[in-house]
Structure 1
Amino acid sequence: MLITSEKNDLIKDIKKLSEKKYRYEKKLFFVEGKNSVFEALKSSFEIKYVLVSEDCDIDLDVEKDRLIFVDKGIFKKISDTVTPQMIMAVVKMPDYNVNDLIKEDGLYIILDEVQDPGNLGTIIRSADAFNVDAVFTINNTVDVYNPKALRSTMGSIFHLPVVNDVPVDKLFEALKRNGVRVLSTNLKAEKYIYDCDISKNIALIFGNESRGVNKSLDIYVDGSFKIPMDGMAESLNVSVAASICLYESQRQRLIK
């Protein structure tokens, strides 16, 4: 099947998936690029369609009725990038149950009002690299299925559960019920990161790029720590801070 018109119903539907409201109405999202599509195909996610340019010569293990060839000009109109790689997958959103994901001795990331999709995607990628059990977003953090966020994950979105916009009370009740400690970064904390056991049984909160973690979450936090910095910068980018913390968690696990 070759689509040559942007008025095609499937093309119009896929183009609308760039809008958050439409994504959640259809429970679908799309990823672009060879790496992300291949990771999607290897995962347990349900793949609705794989779209490729008409002259694509990539060997794809996709059912014939799910493989759609698209005119290059049309592909550029539905792509979220300036120079698309001419391969895209439309994927069904997973239906995660928070209570099923949280367990004793787990390692979790909570993202509180993180607004930049690049930061979100980078944190998910680091969480994947350092074997985090799940990532949860709260308080209107940017949508996990935002196309820029998905590109920044480099396919890691398909490797670990990432649960979008979890009700705060529900999340922290589940963590407490399983004995998971909750820690946050704080520039005014007395302890440094290496003074805290963050190897397991821990949930780390990272907050908004300019305001940090919401004060309203203080009632749920068991403690805080800071990352030692001797330079003149007042703070770190949230994705950098999260990656440093996850590296330290991994280091602690390796030396135990």
Structure 2
Amino acid sequence: MRKLSMDELNRKSVDEFKQSDKLSIIAVLENIRSAYNIGSVFRTADAFLLEAIYITGYSAIPPHKEIKKTALGAEETVSWKHFENAGSAITELREQGYKVYAVEQVQDSISLEKFASNSTDKIAVIFGNEVSGVEQTTIAECDGCIEIPQLGMKHSLNIATAAGVVLWELVRARILNN
């Protein structure tokens, strides 16, 4: 085995990325304290061709040096929008026909491996604050909650890690269903 060169990776240019068909998945970031985490989600959204990122509350927005450091330019390719609060983002998502799910540990949550959706479903997933998670008022507005199965003691993942796990699983299901 040998590592592939940058040329062999067939990376899209910024224009090619912007013109590419995106998956109807939007990541919503609610009150994320760390701009590094936000940048990581931008990079993940770029990797998986997500429709957009909606940033809510006091979360940092581009241009921000810490977002830029971890996004590695994805903040320039991925569409994003800022909302004063998650409720405003949810209202817009519903108007656009999205089903909205919080990624949170709640009563009657759907375990990630059991979450089913059509490849044509428009889905938004909300990731919450590093300490307090998704706000209860936000959860009340969602169509449901997705929970990442965890087997250890902590039952807590960094938001960037959680986003990578959930978003890949949603993308993987769409790739397999096409």
Deviation track 1:97-156 (CA, whole Å, cap 9, x = no partner) reads: xxxxxxxx7210110000101101001100111111000111111233210111110111
Aligned to 1:205: 126
Q: Label 1:209 to 1:172 Cα distance change in 2 as closer, same or farther (>3 A).
A: same
Q: 1:136 touches 1:166 (CA, 8 Å); kept in 2?
A: no
Q: Does 1:182 align with 2:103?
A: no
In structure 1, C-alpha distance between the alignment counterparts of 2:46 and 2:158, rounded to whole Å: 19
Q: In the alignment, does 2:152 pair up with 1:234?
A: no
Unaligned runs of 5+ in 2: 1-12, 16-22
In the alignment, the residues of structure 2 paired with residue 234 and residue 219 of structure 1 have an alpha-carbon distance, to the nearest angstrom, of 22
**2:109–2:147: 8 Å Cα contact kept in structure 1?**
yes
Equivalent of residue 111 in structure 2, options 192, 215, 221: 192
Which runs of structure 2 are paired with 1:101-140 in the superposition (5 Å)?
106-140=24-58
In structure 2, do the counterparts of structure 1 residues 233 and 219 end up closer, same or farther at CA, with 3 Å as the change threshold? closer
CA contact (8 A) 1:182 1:202 kept: yes
Cα distance in 2 between the residues matched to 1:190 and 1:107: 19
Q: Which residue is 1:154 aligned to?
A: 72
Gapped runs of 5+ residues in structure 1? 1-41, 45-104
Distance between the aligned counterparts of 1:185 and 1:248, measured in 2?
Answer: 13
Rounded Cα–Cα distance in structure 1 between residues aligned with 2:90 and 2:146:
19
**Taking CA–CA contacts closer than 8 Å with sequence separation of 6 or more, which of the two structures ends up with the larger relative contact order?**
2
Structure 1 pair 232/109, CA: closer, same or farther in 2 (3 Å)?
Answer: same
Q: CA deviation at 1:169?
A: 4.5
Look up the equivalent residue of 2:155 and give its one-letter code: E
| Structure 2 residue 142 is matched with structure 1 residue 224 | no
1:248 to 143, 159, 169: 169
Q: Is the 8 A contact 2:30 2:85 kept in 1?
A: no
Report the equivalent of 1:171. Answer: 89
- Matched to 2:112, the amino acid is I
AA partner of residue 165 (structure 2): I
CA distance in 2, matches of 1:232, 1:222: 28
How many residues are matched? 155
Quote the residue 1:14 is aligned against. Answer: none
* Secondary structure at the counterpart of residue 228 of structure 1: coil
The structural deviation recorded for 1:43 is 4.2
For residues 105 and 87 of structure 2, the distance between their equivalents in structure 1, rounded to whole angstroms, comes to 25
Any runs of at least 4 consecutive aligned residues in structure 1 with deviations exceeding 6 A, and if so which? none
What's the TM-score, normalizing by structure 1?
0.56
Moved more, 175-184 or 185-194: 185-194
CA RMSD of the aligned region, Å?
Answer: 1.9
Query: Residue 27 of structure 2 contacts residue 52 of structure 2 at CA under 8 Å; is this kept in 1?
Result: yes
If the length of structure 2 is used for normalisation, what is the TM-score?
A: 0.79
- For residue 133 of structure 1, give the secondary structure of its aligned residue in structure 2: strand
